[in-house]
Amino acid sequence: MLNRDERRFRKRYEATYGAVLAYALRRTDQPADAHDVVAETFLTAWRRRAVLPEGERTLPWLYGVAYRVIANQARSRRRSERLSAQLAAQPRPSPQVEADVLRAAELEAIRSALERLDPMEQEVLRLAAWEGLSRAEISDVLGCSENAATLRLHRARKRLAEELAKENELTGHESA
Amino acid sequence: MSEARDPLELLRLADPVASTDLPDGRSQEARALLREISGAGGNTRRRLALALSLGLAVTAVAGATSFGQTVVRGSIERFGAWVGGDPGSPASPAEQKAFEELNVEAYARFRENTRLRLLMTRTVAGKRFRLLGFRDGSSLCLRLIRADRPGGRSITACVPTRELDAPAVVAASGTLSFGRPEIRVSGVIGFADDEVERVDVVRQRSGKSRAALANNAFLSLRARPAGTVQRHPPPDEVVEIRALSGGVSRWVEFVTAYGIYPRRLRGAPVFVRDFERPKPAALPGPVQSVPATPASVRWIESMEPRGRRLNLERFRYARALQPDPNSSFRVGVVLNGLDRGLPTKEVPLCVTSLEPLTRTRSLGFRCGRAADLFRRHGAFVLTSSGWFSSSGGGLQFERVAGLASDGVASMELYFHEGRRESVPLKDNTFALLVSRADLPAKLVARDRRGHAIKIEVLPGPGRVLRCPERSLAALRAPRRRPGPIGQLDLGRRTLGGHQILGRTLPQIIAVLGRPVAVSAAHNRQYVRYGPPWQRRLSISFRPRRHGRLVAVALSFDDVNLTERRLGLLLRRKPAALQRAIQKIYGKEYELVEPFGSLRYWGGCGATFDAVGTNRSLTFGMYEPRWRPYLSLRRD
């Protein structure tokens, strides 16, 4: 019989599992690594279920944990491997990449531009674009003020735009 | 790609999982995980292993040449166990089978008859590890595996025999993990010639240890608890390797490991800051190039069946080519546009590296419209995109590979120390394994007349920049008697005689008085004490129990900050302050990050952990004005 605490955890787990998995898949090379990140994140959440925030704040809190779990892994990765693996057409659950190289080339240009930003800028942009978080939620994930998150996002967008322009110039990707 | 589009909108297009159906929280796999998590209980530190292996830490440099060290060269004949081809004993059938299974699944494969040899077995933290060796053409390869998981994660690295010209050569460093709570084993593998009597591996914290030496190979293993996300063990990376040969201890080339650490994780004494990317003129070899013609690869445009076909149904044309017959490495060349009916020239051409044993290596890493690729990039395209060696890895040898246009007749690498190496080139593809310690270098493509038609600088590994050894605070800052907010007791962790960390704002106001400023953002709060425009003391609050905001960090910028036993803190030189803390409070505070080099995130600092608590102490200077700070925080 589950107690109240466990029932509440289970409900939040079911509601957020997919989003946390997506978050991890976006930031790891291999699906297996992403699943490890998810496991570690929810294990932390389970242990700290008494303080797990409610409602809309649950997901940013979990992203914050996942962010740190991935950071822990990331320090021991070779960047070149990561870059390559991100584009691996076979193992990733992203059939579109393989289906259309024109699109793959464009995606590669975007990711390549993203990779040239500093890690914090990358994370802010990913959280905004891929997780669709608000500034307040981003600040929750990154442990900074909302103002700081807004400023970081503004700067990161600007930097990404610059890098995309450079990428365009370098590789001559055609307009999509 | 349209430049006018919002970068965030473009980034959304690049979301790797946007079009993927992911399992939800009620799926079978999610339920299985939930069962495992809820069964883990609160006391087990780490029931779920974080499968972090072959964790090849990103590196900063301690390259030989950059530090002016002398490396004594030897020759391959001195690796006696390998000269005959049969070092050690045959690997077990399970190890051989696991290797063959991985090999057959890979896009690029080692030769079918590759036989693994067992070079040595070592046990660390109760787990057996086996170092295997094999040949791949003109390279010798090492493969470190867990004895109980021959097909699992490994550290596998090859070294060209031409690079075995020193008494000892490191092939790779990396980590393998096991157990719950997780134990992480850091390994260094390499080759040692017949004259080498001993190999010592120096790690940051645990110091020097002797590597196992057998069959002209060496292996150093060190096990440590992996810790948790919240409580990381201090880093203990390999920083130096020495080989004793002929009674002389020699420095061994090794690109040391250091990653880009997120701010909140425990830091390390060295951080990558700048990558060495010299201008072409600063390196040997030609400095100017002439335009290349023709800017295409005719046989690809006509889709000749060269190399081996890659089984990729959706691509119009996908081939794996072997630029160097002495290496199993392949360059993948892919043309897409299967359903578009476009001429070959109009479809994207992608070039990629295909490493043996790696099934999931990228396809389409460097892409461009076939007709434009070389016009835009010049006479050759590298499979990496300018990130080459800009960050490091446990692997000590890096692949320079790519696709050259028909105008290229030969390619050469000019290393910064003056050596010149010819790059194998076949079917317009090229590849050469180079030592990371030998970079930066210049890759030059020449036409049939010998003219340089493209020059590209391959950057060196990251550099560690030293912090300035100067007083934390300008000595001209006026002295004054500190008030209660400037009187610290590191032993009792009190301020003005009061416990502050863990207290709520009303409790703090009751003892320190009203702050001059209070700001709040979301579920955070910050208060400041001190005169206007100065931040002598900032206190950060975060929600803790029952959502109550409690003080989690005290940050001092006050140059007159006084500690009960150490006196004025921020007027000292960093090294002196670090020593003083270690001397006076050595039992209470453990140094986890010495002051020494610039951090990736900026500034210089040292971090101590308060022993047996969740508190830490950091001091240092912020860039660019080198403003001093000291902070006490609780996790």
d(C-alpha B581, C-alpha B607), whole Å: 11
Percent of chain A whose pLDDT exceeds 70: 69
Rounded to 5°, the CA angle B323-B329-B331 comes to 60
Site from A80, A90, A107, A164 to mutate, B interface, most B CB atoms within 10 angstroms: A80
d(C-alpha A176, C-alpha B218), whole Å: 52
* pLDDT for residue B142 is more than 70: yes
pLDDT band for position B128 (cuts 50, 70, 90) = very high
One-letter amino acid at B151 equals G
The torsion angle over the Cα atoms of residues A113, B457, B319 and B337, rounded to 10 degrees, is: 40
Are the Cβ atoms of A88 and B264 closer than 8 angstroms? no
Q: What is the pLDDT at residue A82?
A: 37
One-letter amino acid at B284 equals P
Chain A contacts of B229, Cβ < 8 Å? 40, 44, 65, 68-69, 72
Q: Does B508 touch chain A (CB under 8 A)?
A: no
Average pLDDT over residues B400-422: 92
Peptide bond into B574 cis (omega under 30): no
Most confident of the following: A34-43, B59-68, B418-427, B530-539: B418-427
CB A83 within 8 A of CB A115: yes
Weakest mean pLDDT among A34-43, A123-132, B35-44: B35-44
d(C-alpha B407, C-alpha B298), whole Å: 11
Percent of chain B whose pLDDT exceeds 70: 75
* pLDDT for residue B127 is more than 80: yes
Positive or negative, the CA dihedral B562, B563, B565, B569 is negative
Between residues B25 and A58, the one the model is more confident about: A58
Residue with tokens 């090849």: B56
d(C-alpha B299, C-alpha B344), whole Å: 11
d(C-alpha B158, C-alpha B167), whole Å: 17
d(C-alpha B142, C-alpha B174), whole Å: 13
Q: What is the pLDDT at residue B469?
A: 66
Helix B28-40 and helix A4-27, axial crossing angle in degrees, nearest 10:
120
Beta strands in B474-583 (DSSP E): 487-489, 494-495, 498-499, 517-521, 524-529, 537-543, 549-556, 562-563, 567-568
Residue with tokens 């940051």: B204
pLDDT in tens, A134-167: 888 888 888 788 888 889 888 998 888 888 777 6
Instruction: Tell me the ipTM for this assembly.
Output: 0.72
Percent of chain B whose pLDDT exceeds 90: 29
Q: Which of B612, B608, B611 is nearest to B632 (CA)?
A: B608
Peptide bond into B440 cis (omega under 30): yes
Q: How far is A169 from chain B (nearest CA, A)?
A: 8
Ramachandran assignment for B327, one of left (phi > 0), alpha (psi -120 to 50 degrees), beta (any other): beta
Weakest mean pLDDT among A43-52, B64-73, B231-240, B585-594: B64-73
Q: How far is B551 from chain A (nearest CA, A)?
A: 15
One-letter amino acid at B614 equals N
CB B275 within 8 A of CB B463: yes
The token pair that represents B583 in the structure block: 């001397």
Average pLDDT over residues B109-131: 93
d(C-alpha A73, C-alpha A99), whole Å: 30
Q: What is the pLDDT at residue A90?
A: 30
d(C-alpha A106, C-alpha B13), whole Å: 9
Note which residues in 40-99 of chain B have CB less than 8 A from chain A.
Answer: 40, 42, 46-52, 55-58
Residue with tokens 């531009």: A113
- Alpha carbons within 13 angstroms on the beta-carbon side of residue B47 total 19
The token pair that represents B473 in the structure block: 């605070």
Q: What is the pLDDT at residue B357?
A: 78
Q: Does B342 touch chain A (CB under 8 A)?
A: no
pLDDT band for position B559 (cuts 50, 70, 90) = confident
The token pair that represents B350 in the structure block: 């992608």
Are the Cβ atoms of B336 and A76 closer than 8 angstroms? no
d(C-alpha B455, C-alpha B100), whole Å: 39
d(C-alpha A165, C-alpha A113), whole Å: 9
Q: How far is A117 from chain B (nearest CA, A)?
A: 12
Helix (H) or strand (E) holding B17: none
Chain B contacts of A46, Cβ < 8 Å? 37-38, 40
Q: What is the pLDDT at residue B624?
A: 65
pLDDT in tens, B444-493: 999 999 999 999 988 776 555 566 666 655 555 566 676 777 889 999 88
Between residues B432 and B479, the one the model is more confident about: B432
pLDDT in tens, B298-325: 999 899 999 988 877 677 888 999 999 8
d(C-alpha A45, C-alpha A5), whole Å: 12
Note which residues in 282-341 of chain B have CB less than 8 A from chain A.
Answer: 312, 314-315, 334-337
* pLDDT for residue B114 is more than 60: yes
Which domains are seen in chain A, by residue range?
1-77 (1.10.1740.10), 79-176 (1.10.10.10)
Q: In sequence order, which residues have a C-beta less than 8 Å from that of residue A39 and are 6 or more positions away?
A: B33, B36, B37, B48
Q: What share of chain A is helix, strand, coil (3-state, %, to 5)?
A: 75, 0, 25
pLDDT in tens, A108-121: 677 778 888 888 88
Supply the mean pLDDT for chain B: 78
Average pLDDT over residues B93-116: 89
Note which residues in 21-80 of chain A have CB less than 8 A from chain B.
Answer: 21-22, 25-26, 29-30, 32-33, 35-36, 38-40, 42-44, 46-47, 51, 65, 67-69, 71-80
d(C-alpha B487, C-alpha B475), whole Å: 19
Q: How far is B380 from chain A (nearest CA, A)?
A: 13
Chain A contacts of B23, Cβ < 8 Å? 17-18, 21
pLDDT band for position A101 (cuts 50, 70, 90) = very low
Looking at domain B280-464, its CATH class is mainly beta
Most confident of the following: A3-7, A106-110, B182-186, B395-399: B182-186
CB A15 within 8 A of CB B34: no
pLDDT in tens, B173-231: 888 888 888 898 989 999 999 999 999 998 877 888 999 999 999 999 999 888 776 56
- B175 three-state secondary structure: strand
- B38 three-state secondary structure: helix
Chain B contacts of A161, Cβ < 8 Å? 3, 7
d(C-alpha B10, C-alpha B16), whole Å: 12
d(C-alpha B303, C-alpha B266), whole Å: 52
Q: What share of chain B is helix, strand, coil (3-state, %, to 5)?
A: 15, 40, 50
Q: What is the pLDDT at residue B28?
A: 63
* pLDDT for residue B42 is more than 50: no
For B15, the closest of A9, A79, A129 (CB atoms) is: A129
Are the Cβ atoms of A139 and B315 closer than 8 angstroms? no
